[in-house]
Amino acid sequence: MRLAVVLDDFTPARGGAERYLAELAERLVARGHEVRVYCRRHAEPPRGVTCVVVAAGGLTRVARERRFAAAACARAREEGCAPLLGIRHAPAVDLYQPHGGSWDASAAARRACDPRPWRRAWRGFAQRWSPRHRHFRAVERALLQRPDVVTLAVSERVRDDLAAIVPAARERTVVVPPAIDVERFAALARARADRPRAARGATLLFVAHDFELKGLRHALAAFARSDAAARGARLEVAGRGDPAPYARLVAQLAIGAQVEFCGAPRDIAPLLAGADLLLHPTWFDPCALVCLEALAAGVPVVTTARNGAASAVAEAGGRVVALPSEHAELAAAIDALLAEGAAAEARAAAVGARFGWDESLRTLLPLLEAAAARRSAR
């Protein structure tokens, strides 16, 4: 199989979908398949993976998007690729894997997370009428309406969101959760279990690059209300976001001595190794990879129902609140989960162990190979 992946930017170090795709590509190459990534730009590709830069000009963002999607798919076909896996909105692909969730659901969350009413109103107007938003909504609808396209949803939440756009797409949508290196994180879980809790102290962790969308404002407010904070717990904040607006909030909440902004981590493992709880009060997450990694590492999770990983968190005995703005509920969830101690950690590790690559590829590989066969038969 010669798989083509179509996306605009391939920089695995940024995490999220790009890190997942890099690990997927490495594993497919190790199994004897060829993987080619068609993109506008990329960082150092994984070993054995070919990156093909596709230039696509245009005076507007929409024009550049259209030309890139068409040119990338055309070149992949010319070079004998089958199937084509679209991460971005490319109408000519064989499989569609929207790691960012549905366009409408993501846009609605970006409106909701803004604390300024006038900005929410402006975002709503822009999302309804801007050429960019209209283009992406139209392409997504076209992909979901195609009977020959299989959609790979990272969670049941995403499948529901896509079915709300095109109900018939539900039967062509397969849920394939993100995969993680469970062996690596299980080793962290064992190491954490062997260390006395008193030696670690109470450390909460928040990890995200988009601080506003992933609920940092609410994480800080909930932490300040918690009994854990009153007992001297710490909150570590990791990610590429600008800490300045939140540093002011930290000062207002009088928790400055207990909150540390760590910047963007090269590796999340050391942070998870020292954490007692992951706090992820997101406004929107198709399926937060950091939550799955935390579970596999034996770190209990508090999140919201807006997270596609919420079902796994709940199954692991974590806490799921309805909205990030429910600060009292979040604070109570923090305290309750910390009080459960080692039992909560063991439940987390047991559920997290199910998100390994072997299990994921057992679902994903037949879908890729069937799509390649359908394309070759045309």
Whether residue 24 is found in the same domain as residue 94: yes
Whether residue 159 is found in the same domain as residue 201: no
Residue 114: is its pLDDT beyond 70?
Answer: yes
- pTM metric for this prediction: 0.92
Mean pLDDT for the stretch of residues 158-163: 96
165-223 per-position pLDDT tens digit: 999 999 999 999 999 999 999 998 888 877 766 544 699 999 998 999 999 999 999 99
Tell me the C-alpha to C-alpha distance, in Å, between residue 44 and each of 11, 34, 158, 301.
8, 17, 30, 33
Whether residue 327 is found in the same domain as residue 218: yes
Sign, CA torsion 178/240/320/123: negative
Whether residue 299 is found in the same domain as residue 159: no
Whether residue 335 is found in the same domain as residue 367: no
Please give the mean pLDDT across all residues of the chain: 92
**CATH number for 201:** 3.40.50.2000
Give the structural domain span for 243.
182-352
284-302 per-position pLDDT tens digit: 999 999 999 999 999 999 9
Whether residue 89 is found in the same domain as residue 166: yes
How many CB atoms within 10 Å of residue 347? 18
Whether residue 175 is found in the same domain as residue 202: no
What is the tally of structural domains in the chain?
2
Q: Which residue is associated with the tokens 């080619």? A: 36
Whether residue 159 is found in the same domain as residue 30: yes
Whether residue 294 is found in the same domain as residue 155: no
